[in-house]
Amino acid sequence: MAGQHCKNWKRLSTSRDRLFERSRCMDKRGKIPGQLRPIIEAKLNELQVERKRVSFQAIRRLAEERAKEWDGRFHFRDALAEGTTPRIIAEIKRGSPSKGLFSPDLNPEKQARIYEKAGAAAISVITEKNFFFAAENDFEKVKASTFLPVLRKDFILDPYQIFQSKVMGSDAVLLIVRILEPDQLFDFVETAHSLGMSTLVEVHNKRELDHALEAQCSVIGINNRDLDTFEVSLTRTEDLAGYIDMDKHVVVCESGITGPDDIRRIMKTGVRAFLIGEHLVKSEDPALTLKTLLEAGRNGGK
C-alpha cells in the first residue's frame, strides 16, 4: 500500500503556492477564529522554511519508505477502541496561548514513561513551538521512550506535514476541521490512513462533525474549547455525541477534564475516550491523577 497513499498527491504537492491564499479566503469567510490567525500565520511561515530545507518530494519519499514497515494495523485507533473502561490519551504539553508557559521544566521522556505505567492508552505530543512552547525533538524523545501509540498534535495545513509526521514516527495526526476545507480534510485523511497513521479529526460544532463523517474518519475528537474565545464547556461533547454512531466511530472528548466527576459525566453519553493534557501535566503526582481518572470511569462511569 505504501506509495499508493493518495491518488491526488501530485495535486496536493502544488498546494504550497496556494496555502496563504487559501488561508486568506477562509479567513474572509470567517472560518478561521481570530484567536487562531496568528498561529496559522506562524505555521505557514514555518512551513515555507521547512519545505526549503527538505523538499516535498524528499519528505514524501522518506514517508513512503517508512510506510513499507507498516503492519496493516491502526494502533492508535485500536488502542482507543479496546475494552469498556476509559481510554485516556495523556498529553505532553508545556503551555498554551491562553495559559502561557506552565511546564517549563517538563521532561517528556519521564512524563511519557509515567503515563504508560499509570495506564494511558496513548500519548499526545504537541509539536507547535511558537504558541504552545514545544521544544525541539519533544516528539522524537517521547516516541523513543514508550511502546504506546503516539499522536502528533499540531496545526496540519499542508500534506507536507502528513508525510513529515510519518517520518517522525507518528501513529496518528490531529486534523482540525475548522482550519481545513472539506476537500483538504478528505485528502489528508486518505493520505494519513494509507501511510498507516490514524487521524484524530477534531470538531467543534454540528457542521464540522458532518464534514468529519463525510471524510470517512474513524476517530472523532470533540473539542470542548471554543476556538473563538478559548472558553471550555463539556456540554459541547454532550450535545454532539448523540449524532455519532459509536459502533462505527471512536469518539474522544478533548479539553475541560479536571477531575473524576467530569469523566463520569461524559461517559454517560457513551463517550469513553479522553484527551487530557494540562490537568495531568500540572499535577504533582501525574501517575496518581491518571489512575484516579481511570478508576472513576470503570463500570461505565456509574
% pLDDT > 90, the chain: 81
Confidence category of residue 113, pLDDT binned at 50, 70, 90: very high
Average pLDDT, the chain: 91
Quick one: pLDDT at residue 7? Answer: 46
Residue 260 near residue 267, CB atoms below 8 Å: no
Q: What are phi and psi of 203, to 5 degrees?
A: -125, 160
Q: What angle do CA 157, 272, 109 make, to 5 degrees?
A: 60
Annotated catalytic sites, by residue? 91, 93, 153, 202, 223, 254-255
Quick one: pLDDT at residue 210? Answer: 97
Residue 141 near residue 109, CB atoms below 8 Å: yes
Which domains are assigned to the chain? 9-301 (3.20.20.70)
The 10s digit of each residue's pLDDT in 45-75 is: 999 999 999 999 999 999 999 999 999 999 9
Residue 74 near residue 198, CB atoms below 8 Å: yes
* 97 pLDDT more than 50: yes
